[in-house]
C-alpha cells in the first residue's frame, strides 16, 4: 500500500473517534483542553494498537487465505464502511457526558477502534510498513479527536453524521480499489 492510501485509511478509521469526540465536546459547557487531550490520547492509542493486533491475527492465518486475501479485505472494508454509513443516518440521541474516566474512555476507545482491528487483518495480506502505518493512523486519530472536541464544543453536532458518512465511503472505496487491483481491472 502506498503512503496516500494509508493516510486515507487513517482518516476513514478516525471518523468514529471524531464523531464521539464531537459528542464529548458538545457535552462540555466550556472547552476543557485537558479533557480534549485525554480523549485524543485514548482514541489515538487504541487506533494504533488495534491494527497491530489485527495484523498479527491476519499474519497467523495468511498462509490459509492468501488466495482470497483481496476478497477478505474488500468484504471487511465494505462491511465496516457500510456500518459507518448506516450509523451516520441514525437519529438516535446518545446519552451525552463529558466524563473521561478510565472505564468510560476504554469502552469508547474499544468501540471506535474495532474497525481498525479489521483493517489490521487486511494489512497482513499486503506489503505494508506496519510501524509507519500505525503511527500515521494514531497521529491522524489523535489530531481529529482533539479537533472533534473543539468542533463539538463550538458548533454542536452538525458534523457528527457527516464525518461517519465520509469515513464509511472512504473505507468502501479503498476496499473496492483493493479488489479491482487484484482482479486486474485497474492498477494504481
The 10s digit of each residue's pLDDT in 111-152 is 888 888 888 988 887 888 999 999 999 999 999 999 999 998
Q: Is residue 112 part of a domain?
A: yes
Q: What 3-state class would DSSP assign to 91?
A: coil
* Residues 73 and 186: beta-carbon distance below 8 Å: no
Q: Is residue 126 part of a domain?
A: yes
The 10s digit of each residue's pLDDT in 5-19 is 999 999 989 988 898
Q: Is residue 187 part of a domain?
A: no
Residue 56's domain spans which residues? Answer: 3-182
Domain count along the chain:
1
Contacts of 122 (CB under 8 A, 6+ apart): 54, 58, 69, 72, 73, 76, 77, 178
Read off the pTM: 0.71
Amino acid at each position: 500500500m502506498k503512503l496516500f492510501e494509508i493516510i486515507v485509511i487513517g482518516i476513514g478509521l478516525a471518523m468514529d473517534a471524531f464523531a464521539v469526540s464531537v459528542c464529548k465536546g458538545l457535552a462540555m459547557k466550556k472547552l476543557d483542553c485537558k479533557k480534549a487531550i485525554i480523549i485524543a490520547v485514548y482514541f489515538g492509542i487504541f487506533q494504533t494498537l488495534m491494527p497491530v493486533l489485527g495484523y498479527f491475527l491476519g499474519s497467523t492465518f495468511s498462509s490459509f487465505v492468501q488466495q482470497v486475501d483481496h476478497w477478505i479485505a474488500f468484504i471487511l472494508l465494505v462491511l465496516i464502511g457500510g456500518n459507518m454509513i448506516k450509523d451516520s443516518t441514525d437519529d438516535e440521541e446518545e446519552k451525552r457526558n463529558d466524563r473521561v474516566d478510565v472505564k468510560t474512555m476504554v469502552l469508547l476507545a474499544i468501540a471506535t477502534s474495532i474497525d481498525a482491528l479489521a483493517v489490521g487483518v487486511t494489512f497482513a495480506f499486503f506489503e505494508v510498513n506496519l510501524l509507519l502505518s500505525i503511527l500515521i493512523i494514531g497521529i491522524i486519530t489523535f489530531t481529529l479527536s482533539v479537533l472533534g472536541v473543539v468542533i463539538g464544543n463550538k458548533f454542536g453536532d452538525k458534523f457528527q453524521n457527516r464525518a461517519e458518512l465520509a469515513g464509511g465511503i472512504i473505507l468502501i472505496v479503498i476496499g473496492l480499489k483493493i479488489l479491482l487491483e487484484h482482479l486486474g481491472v485497474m492498477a494504481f
